Amino acid sequence: MNILVTGGAGFIGSNFIRYWFNHNPGDYIVNLDSLTYAGNLDSLEDIQLNPHYKFIYGDICDRDLVNELVKHVDLIVHFAAESHVDRSILSSEDFIRTNVEGTRILLDAAKNNGGIRFHHISTDEVFGALGSNDPKFNERTAYNPRSSYSASKAASDHLVRAYFHTHGLPITISNCTNNYGPYQFPEKVIPLFITNLLENKKVPVYGEGKNIRDWIYVDDHNAGVEAIIKHGRMGETYCLGGGNELSNMYITKLILRMMGDDEKMIEFVEDRKGHDFRYAMDFTKAINEFGWYPKVDFFTGLKKTVDWYKNNEWWWKRLKSKEGFMNYYLKNYNK
CB 122 within 8 A of CB 175: yes
- Look at the chain and count its residues: 335
One-character DSSP codes across 234-266: TT-EEEE--S-EEEHHHHHHHHHHHHT--GGGE
Compute the distance between CA of residue 13 and CA of residue 7 in angstroms, rounded to an integer: 6
CB 255 within 8 A of CB 197: yes
DSSP type of residue 281: B
Compute the distance between CA of residue 242 and CA of residue 246 in angstroms, rounded to an integer: 11
Bridge-based pairing state of the strands 245-247 and 212-217? antiparallel
CB 256 within 8 A of CB 200: no
CB 129: neighbour CB atoms within 10 A?
17
Task: Give the active site residues.
Answer: 124-125, 149
Q: Which of 70, 49, 48 is nearest to 58 (CA)?
A: 70
Phi, psi of 242 (to 5 degrees): -100, -15
CB 175 within 8 A of CB 221: no
User: How many contiguous H segments (helices) and E segments (strands) does the chain have?
Assistant: 13, 12
